[in-house]
Copies of this chain bind each other. A is one copy, B any other.
Amino acid sequence: MSLVKPRKSTRSTLAERELPEAGGRERLIAAALKLAAEKRSLLALGVRELGRMAGLNPNTFYRHFKSLDELSVAIIDEFAQDLAPALRAIRLSGVPVELVSARTVEYVFDYARQHPEAFIVGVRELHGSSGRLQQAIRARIKLVAAEMSEDILATNGVPGITADMLDELAEPIVEQVFHRTLDYLEEPRRRAELVRRTAHFIDALMTGAVAMKAMNRWD
């Protein structure tokens, strides 16, 4: 058994990420998010402007990433990992069914408040010109939607709704919540209303689908 002490590098641990002396990679990621939220799509950023924003020489970029494409994918991966399990926890938490929508929406919106740039950039790239980034983000949306569907069926959260129906409705719902995070970030005075409206939207969609099925208008 090899007892090799790992080589220490400037790749920071999670704790270090919160320090101003974070490593080059993290500084470039933070710089990219900030610039993409303010200016242009991740893939339209410049290596030199990234370097300036990160307080690094532009060439340092190539020490960590082969391309802007690789940087972009790394960013999406980084932010997509925490959210889905937390949403699932809310849905399986025993919150009264009538409140699940509002609680979930609140959670997502507050998460967006903690990572505003990630959400801004996420929504932007979902509709951007890079098919690859779109697909990466859409895959995450599909995952959240699939879990949501499973949970709703498992808990009988919406009596009368079927897997087929959720197959149609889950993604538009997740997407709508995703979009509304930007409103939530931009309009602090309307926050309570946005939560209420978004929860209404979800509940109305589910309720209507069930009613339409009962009337044989869901084919």
Contact = CB atoms under 8 A, between A and B. Distances in A.
13 contacts: A38-B129, A40-B40, A40-B44, A41-B41, A124-B129, A126-B127, A127-B127, A172-B176, A172-B201, A201-B205, A204-B212, A208-B208, A211-B211
Which of A37, A123, A126, A203 gathers most chain B CB within 10 Å? A203
Interface in A30-62: 37-41, 44
A209 to B, nearest CB: 4
A211 B217 CA distance: 15
Contact of A208 (B175, B176, B204): B204
Main secondary structure of the interface of A (DSSP, over half): helix
Given A129-B39, A129-B124, A204 B197 contact: no
Contacts of A211: 207-208, 211
Nearest to A126: B127
Interface of A: 37-41, 44, 98, 123-124, 126-129, 168-169, 172, 175-176, 179, 182, 197, 200-201, 203-212, 217-218
> Copy number in this complex?
2
Contacts of A123: 127
B203 A204 contact: no
A197 B219 CA distance: 10
B176 A203 contact: no
The 3 closest A-B pairs by CB, nearest first: A208-B208, A204-B208, A207-B208
Given A40-B41, A176-B172, A203 B208 contact: yes
A45 B40 CA distance: 11
Contacts of A38: 129
A102 B168 CA distance: 16
Contacts of A212: 200, 203-204, 207
A199 to B, nearest CB: 11
Contacts of A201: 168-169, 172, 205
Contacts of A169: 201, 204
A79 B200 CA distance: 32
A198 B44 CA distance: 32
